[in-house]
Structure 1
């Protein structure tokens, strides 16, 4: 903005503005090249140019810092409700469709008038545990510092819960550790900082700091289909709740249950928006197994969770070198685990039912038939040529 009032003296101007003798510039000097004065020496001009470049760099950095860019990766049971959770958090009134392989979407959130929008990248792994190799695609050294994982577990299928949870978390953790190692080769300071950040969710005076093993990046466990789960027997609900509380606390993660209830949708949105946009998450805590759990990271403790739900004699019978193994064995005793059959030995990926496409498959069938006919015709031609050569 300029104002043609040349009689205004430079002494009357706001800080950071100047009068070039013709018009008053209301644009800060850092935003515009400073005009040299006749009295300026060569050194004065050089110093001014350096200061202008430094100011421009600082302003660009501050403006860039205003915009956050985060990634959230949803993994979990097949048909567990991952897509529905994403759509709810993005306020999209759409019918969720089965996820094929690895899918991506994003959301924006404006922080204020004329300010850059925060961007959240949402990745979703389909197929349960059948596509673990794809975990390496969204998690990279470039985005690891702002990356979070959401594990969605189907509470209505407790007999499939542990294998899915174990496979997905182990595969994700192994890849994250590999990325951290790669980062450490070129920037050990950054790698160490990422490793230290995982402890921020746990108070420095928490009694369990020496007993847990935090996940290398922020982790949220969501138990879906609570509307079905709440009709289970009280003892079964208690075992599942205590087990998931232990797992989430051991990994330094947050835990919550969700369903179609509007109140639970709001809590889910709060937890996801905290990971996606850095917003404050719900601080309320619910530890009662007769109610939906919602436990922010660092709000639980081993003393509140208690020991695994088994007698002392039973505990002595279970083999387990770690607390996690012990809880796993106790849980499997209550709920014998069934194979989810996510991994199928499909030699030809084109025949994998999870990638079925009616029009494409129809054309593929037609081309396969044409190929078989071509092979038969070619085989006849070669045999005819062979007979002719022998006759000669």
Structure 2
């Protein structure tokens, strides 16, 4: 489900604008700055997508922690340019505490989330998605709680926007749980995913369709598509609110297997079915263990020389301390 250069920006901007103007006639004050936070699988291609979106021909470097860049784009000729602030969280699920840095009460009204999931690693897919979205949702809910006390009208407006992609007469209105911020889900490494067994591809694709629909998210998979793409044998493209549980179908399991599963929500049921085929890795396997100080992309000669000197002093201290401790009489005789 590769993403193209124009799709991401268009979707993120359109999602935010749609929610901002849903309760008015669209003629109100124009918000010129918007923010997007990229989260997802480690080495899943987030940086590559951002560079494509900004039309930058650069070799992507691994993202160490939380990185920021921005871009400008004119809507029409001789009109003010939109400014997009791009934040990228590296390390997969290991640096979740940094999520609170870019999402604040001052920019939450014009903020969107892009979740990039590595389709070539289905055993990590659900854990990555669930962990990151839970942390973001918890942080956003705390912001909304504070806004509810200081600016209740804004808090109520943001909560109402959660439902703007789903009409009240939609058959699934009572069965979904929209994400509090505009959400776009991208499946990366489609070239590897395409080589999977057809049944495995179907399970992954249907699951992503369900998750996207459940959270009121857009599922991106093709370049600048003008129509919905639902064929599981090809990259999917489903804008938020244009899918349904009826079209997605039941979880990919037999009726007898479904009857044995105990779940409190549709999301929990799909999770159990998905993880039966793709058992999740332990959380420790997904942790980011690389030492940032050894990353060559952040090398600085003077800093590294000083660090090497301090490391040598520390090693010498340890050796001296070790000798001292061995010579000490602890009065144990």
1:301 aligns with 2:259: no
- Give, in angstroms, the shift of residue 317 of structure 1: 1.4
Kindly provide the CA deviation profile for residues 160-217 of structure 1, in whole angstroms up to 9, marking residues without a partner as x: 1111011001111111111111111111111010010121111332111111110011
Q: 1:186 to 1:319 in 2, by over 3 A?
A: same
Provide, for residues 321-371 of structure 1, a one-character-per-residue CA deviation record: whole Å limited to 9, x for no partner: 111111001001111112362326x7xxxxx42452355556423312224
Query: In structure 2, what is the equivalent of residue 139 of structure 1?
Result: 103
The answer to whether residue 171 in structure 2 is matched with residue 207 in structure 1 is: yes
TM-score by length of 2: 0.82
Q: TM-score, normalised to structure 1's length?
A: 0.70
- 1:283–1:296 CA contact under 8 A, matched in 2: no
For structure 2, which runs of at least 5 residues remain unmatched after alignment?
1-27, 325-333
* Cα shift at 1:248: 0.5
Q: Given the superposition, is the C-alpha separation of residues 210 and 366 from structure 1 closer, same or farther in structure 2, using an over 3 Å criterion? A: same
RMSD: 2.6
Partner residue of 1:342? 286
Single out whichever of 356-365 and 67-76 deviates more from structure 2. Answer: 356-365
- Name the counterpart of 2:198: 234
Residue 246 (1) aligns with residue 210 (2):
yes
Asked if structure 2 preserves the Cα contact closer than 8 Å seen for 1:136 and 1:175, the reply is yes
Change over 3 Å in CA distance of 1:68–1:365 after alignment to 2: same
Q: Please tell me whether residue 158 in structure 1 is matched to residue 122 in structure 2.
A: yes
Match of 1:370 among 313, 323, 326: 313
Q: How does 1:191-340 map to 2 (within 5 A)?
A: 191-257=155-221, 264=222, 266-267=223-224, 282-339=225-282
Partner of 1:357: 295
Moved over 3 A (4+): 64-67, 111-115, 357-363, 371-381
Going from structure 1 to structure 2, the CA distance change for 1:354 and 1:307 (only over 3 Å counts) comes to farther
Distance of aligned partners of 1:313 and 1:114 in 2 relative to their CA distance in 1, 3 Å threshold: closer
Structure 2 Cα separation of the partners of residues 113 and 129 of structure 1: 41
356-365 or 324-333, which deviates more: 356-365
Q: Aligned partners of 2:242 and 2:321: how far apart in 1?
A: 72
Q: How far is 1:374 from its partner?
A: 5.7
Q: Find the aligned partners of 1:355 and 1:202 in 2 and give their Cα distance.
A: 47
Tell me which of 46, 69, 73 is aligned to 2:33: 69
1:283/1:373 CA distance change after superposition, 3 Å: same
The change in CA–CA distance for 1:354 and 1:319 in structure 2 (over 3 A counts) is farther
The answer on whether the counterparts of 1:67 and 1:117 sit within 8 Å (CA) in structure 2 is: no
Report the number of matched residues.
Answer: 295
Q: Output one character per residue of 1:133-164: Cα deviation in whole Å (capped at 9) or x when no partner.
A: 00100000000000000100001111111110
Q: Does the alignment pair 1:94 with 2:58? A: yes
User: Deviations 1:17-69 (Å, cap 9, x if unpaired)?
Assistant: xxxxxxxxxxxxxxxxxxxxxxxxxxxxxxxxxxxxxxxxxxxxxxx944511
Give the gaps of 5 or more residues in structure 1.
1-63, 258-263, 268-281, 347-351, 382-392
Larger Rg: 1
Are 2:110 and 1:167 equivalent residues in the alignment?
A: no
